[in-house]
Amino acid sequence: MITVSIDAMGGDHGPAVVIPGAAKSLERHPELRFVFFGQQDQVLPVLDRYEKLKAASRFEHCEVSVRMDDKPSQALRNGRWKSSMWKAIEAVKNGEADVCVSAGNTGALMAMSKFCLRTMAAIERPAIAAIWPTLRGESIVLDVGATIGADARQLVDFSVMGAAMARALIEVKRPTVGLLNVGVEEIKGQEEVKEAGRMLREADLPALDYHGFVEGDDLGKGTVDVVVSEGFSGNIALKTAEGTAKQIAEYLRAAMSRTVMARIGYLLARGAFRRLRDKMDPRKVNGGVFLGLNGIVIKSHGGTDDEGFAAAIDVGYDMVRNALLQKIETDLKNFHGKHPEDVSDKAAAKRNPE
């Protein structure tokens, strides 16, 4: 039995999307149990419509909810100890839940998660990992927005954590890992990326297979199972991919409705178009995983619908079922046991020579 704590007030639509999403995930995973945190006048009327979900849940009233436009520092100051977001995270810390899921303010969720759960012993900064649809299936991409800038040690830690997530989610025994760069040649890129590549090659870790540098077009190809980047470029890549998918969908919709013959062609090929739509549906890969914390937190897209929120819960379910935290802890110990030196100091020296 896996228990999920839910920030019922998070996202653009709050309980109207969160609760139906939880009901859909429960249909797929009957062993799930839920703890909802939120304002009772908004949560309970919706929860009462879903008898099975209500029977598998408990509810805790919270007077405060974090707004989508709150600054992380403001949310942490005003919402700590009493907001629905904090309470959902705290339930993981206290062992009341195995995973927390929220569609709320990303910055606030990361700040609260880091403050409440703390980072793992070897981790300097957490990362957000996203599931990325590719021509070969799915890949893991991180960091997609938690950390702006990263030194070599942090990029290696991201690689280790991303590979552990790939083993848990994609079920690949030894995932291939690539560092996102401006070219595949070893002489190209920032010093931090080149240093991280050297470290991964020399480490020869049993839990991952270091592929080398990858470029932007390799993300869609599925060249590697895990693509590693610092958060600034990773977030731009994610948003660009989402925008491109919407752009292509609009092009197809316009083309298929332009003439009578085009409409007839669409009717004849609608099965193929349906499969294409499912492949490009961002709801199917909704759910960013916060890696590097002493607990599992899943960030759902704030504007998603109930199907997308259910997918985020499904990701959390898979992470717990496949013992993600234990895999990360073991892999980090294996690496840091072999490489105890603080290479971040070396990278900093290269950036700021005396």
pLDDT tens profile 125-150:
889 998 888 888 888 999 888 878 88
pLDDT value at residue 324:
87
Listed residue (167, 165, 162, 156) closest to 202, CA to CA = 156
pLDDT value at residue 268:
66
Can you name the residues that pair with 138 across neighbouring β-strands? Answer: 133
pLDDT tens profile 114-130:
999 999 888 888 899 98
The whole-angstrom separation of Cα 253 and Cα 248 is 9
pLDDT tens profile 226-277:
999 988 888 888 878 777 777 777 777 787 777 877 777 767 676 766 665 6
Mean of the per-residue pLDDT values for the chain? 85
Q: Taking a C-beta distance cutoff of 8 angstroms, is the pair 113, 89 a contact?
A: yes
Q: Taking a C-beta distance cutoff of 8 angstroms, is the pair 286, 311 a contact?
A: yes
Rounded to the nearest 10 degrees, the angle between the axes of helix 72-79 and helix 106-117 is 50
Domains of the chain: 1-117 (3.40.718.10), 127-287+324-354 (3.40.718.10)
The whole-angstrom separation of Cα 22 and Cα 42 is 16
Proportion of the chain above pLDDT 70, given as a percent: 90
- Nearby residues of 318 by Cβ (< 8 Å), 6 or more positions away: 168, 169
